[in-house]
Amino acid sequence: MSRSHCSGKVWLVGAGPGDPQLITARGLALLRAADAVVYDRLSPSALLEECPPHAERFDVGKIPGRQTITQEEINALLVRLAREGKRVIRLKGGDPYVFGHGGEEALALNAAGIAWEEVPGVSAAIAAAAYAGVPLTHRGLASSFTVVSGHDGLTQSRVANADTLVILMALEQLDRVVERLCFLGRAPTEPAALVHAASTPDQQTLRAPLAEIAKRARALGLPPPATLIVGPTVMLSDHLNWFERRSLFGRRILVARTRPHPSRLTEQLRALGADVIQLPTIRVRPLDHSPINAALRQLAAGRFGWVVFGSALVVEHVWDRLAALGLDSRALRAKVAAYGSGTVEALERRGIRPDCACPGYLQREVARHLLPAGLDGSEVILPCLEVPETLCAMLANHGCRPVAIPVAEIDRESSRQADADRLRRLLNAKEIDAIVFPASRGVELITALLQGDPSPLNGVPIVCMGPSTAETAHRHGFRVDVVAEEATFDGLVRAVASVRTAAEENELPPSYPHREELGGTQETVISGRRASTVSLVSRYALPPEEIESLSLQRVRAALGENEPLEPVRKIVHRIVYAAGDPTLAPRVRIHPDAVAAGVTALRRGRPIVVDVRMVEAGLNRRMITQLSCPVHCGIDLPEVAAEARQLGLPRAVVAVRRLRAAMDDGIVVIGNAPTALLSLLDLIDAEQVRPALIVGMPVGFVAAAESKAELAARAVPFITIEGTRGGSALAAAATNALLQLAFNSEKDQ
């Protein structure tokens, strides 16, 4: 975390892959205390409802193909908000540091002196596989996995060596991605899965052989976002796809909302896989606090015999008022009753166990449950959002003196027209599979949105909480299909499930046709762990040498060249193979003496000096051992880092100076650091070092050293690429080609 003297602070929070419940507890707590929220297109919209009412919201989502806001503008916005002294939440889909520009934003905050923290999130790379039933690793099938971007992450070393390959942002260029994967050695018949909208009710999983998955995705019209998974463990999806097998998965259920607080009914339906839409939109507006303040003081003084809570939101408001009055739960000098499981839970979280609790919300049932508890003759305070008239009347009929005190005002009017338009759109598109009326008030609210015309609901199954609600629905012209046998949320959920079972007996839910089978000869073999493992490994896990041989054949075919190849062309082919891009071939520049100089140095056992570990990791260790060539890596050495800090110099400069003795007559491979190459050129100019060969392909190499012109001026043999971004993988590939040539020439002699 960076320190700052300003009072504002930024938290980079991972929102998770799509399901709002997958945000971390830390992230949710920060979101609920935010002053400003800057969110992306893929952040779950439901999480924004967790923000405090005063929190500013800034949509900075980037739409594919359209530049709506630049990264620099987002960085500036975060800095401005923090400098205003605000608690700023940068809410990002997935994890901020996994293809989320989180590192760039953190560096910008560092540069501006803004305090910040990073709160990890569940990446879509992990969640898409888990929710599609694809283990990323599995004993006997896959011991490693690699996550890359579909835009620029497909290089040979990443693709060919991964047991399971996860590609984010692959859908918009899926044909090109598949073509390159096959070009780099993945088998066209290898199992692949495309997971759309992972962890949400809209999730769809398409399984097909790699070579066919783009065609099938187009046929289905599968939209982004989607994650591509390639590897033998995809075959297990048919047995492990738990998410799409839940009883209500793919069903869109409209719940007639009557209360503004979170609904346990909604939570239960979503847990079974339903996509729940709640209408109408209900907001809560503050009221004058004087009545509830006076009532709470009287409660603390012992005036009331009972206090009855009917919603979790009322509990929250009452505790807020108690705190404002300098009171706490000890002010409840009365017996406590509660109805609704959410209300009971809200009280228990505050250390209050109700003397009487009713699980349901129907007012008649609540009254019949409360009266035997000893309310007769008592003065009862009922803090509420809307006066529970039926409950108050029944209590009064039994000698109680109910006092209902609204703590806030419910607003259903401000969004009425928008709700009505949305409801008609959903019904006209036939996107509602059932409508649930948990109370008579819900029937009245939906009737108002339909302007008294029940006909748009014709053909949509209707489920009611109890006989009273069903009677109200009939009175308003609705046909009721199922009435819950038990007037509780559990009973209502069972009623919804029964509608689905009756309506779709012997049919799969609509999302299942999207889960295409692999087809062809790729049957899934799960007659036992050993049998399936042997079958899949033998079918899809080719030896590395065979993958490399097949891929180099594809390179030759793409470039129109056949064996035998000249040594220079063999180096070019290795670079093309590593990049997975035949268009690089014309831009490879190899000095006329490069091959002879490199092979001679390697056969003499001269050192190979590399700038970073990534290059070293890509070298062929077997051939290096055979040729007895020592390998030196500079930048990543701890002593280099310490000296660089002490001298205030780049690590690359210090590394080149420390390793210059090993560079004489050796091969210098620079894959990532332009400053290392510039320092090397300075040493050559000063006649302090004379390498046999320079392999230079760092990012920014063209701008830093003007490629071959700079090297040619020193009369040092070189291998490089003009006009492209190279890097460690290409530098290692060119060096491996030289190692192969040196090894073969020594073997021939």
Which residues carry out catalysis? Answer: 40, 62
Dihedral sign for Cα 26, 31, 33, 34, please: positive
Q: Which residues pair with 286 in a beta bridge?
A: 408
How far is 327 from 162, CA to CA, in rounded Å?
Answer: 61
For 635, the enclosing helix (H) or strand (E) is none
Q: Are 253 and 267 in contact (CB under 8 A)?
A: no
How far is 136 from 192, CA to CA, in rounded Å?
Answer: 12
> Helix (H) and strand (E) counts for the chain?
31, 28
Q: Are 551 and 577 in contact (CB under 8 A)?
A: yes
Of 411, 478, 473, 396, which Cα lies nearest the Cα of 441?
473
Residue type, 271: A
How far is 697 from 248, CA to CA, in rounded Å?
Answer: 54
Dihedral sign for Cα 581, 584, 589, 590, please: positive
Considering only the C-alpha atoms of the chain, give the largest distance between any 2 of them, rounded to a whole number of Å.
111
Count the alpha carbons within 13 Å of 415 in the hemisphere toward its beta carbon: 14
How far is 219 from 213, CA to CA, in rounded Å?
Answer: 10
How far is 38 from 368, CA to CA, in rounded Å?
Answer: 49
Length of the chain: 749
Q: Are 142 and 136 in contact (CB under 8 A)?
A: yes
Q: What is the 3-state secondary structure (H, E, C) of 234-292?
A: HHHHHHHCCHHHCCCCCCEEEEECCCCCCCHHHHHHHHCCCEEEEECCCEEEECCCHHH
* 263 contacts: CB under 8 Å, gap ≥ 6: 255, 257, 278, 342, 438
Q: Strands 401-406, 379-384: parallel, antiparallel or unpaired by DSSP?
A: parallel
How far is 331 from 307, CA to CA, in rounded Å?
Answer: 11
Q: What are phi and psi of 522, to 5 degrees?
A: -90, 60
What stretches of 429-523 show up as alpha helix (H) in DSSP?
440-449, 467-475, 489-503
What would you report as the CA-atom Rg of the chain, rounded to the nearest whole angstrom? Answer: 34
How far is 43 from 50, CA to CA, in rounded Å?
Answer: 13
How far is 238 from 150, CA to CA, in rounded Å?
Answer: 25
Helices 594-603/728-748 angle, 10° precision: 70
Determine how many CB atoms are found less than 10 A away from the CB of residue 54. 8
In the numeric block, which tokens belong to residue 659? 């390793």
Dihedral sign for Cα 506, 511, 516, 517, please: negative
In the numeric block, which tokens belong to residue 64? 């594919």
Q: Are 46 and 152 in contact (CB under 8 A)?
A: no
410-429 residues labelled b (16+ CB within 10 A) or e (exposed) = bebeeeeeebbebbeebbee
- Report DSSP letters for 652-671, one per residue: HHHHHHHTHHHHTTSEEEES
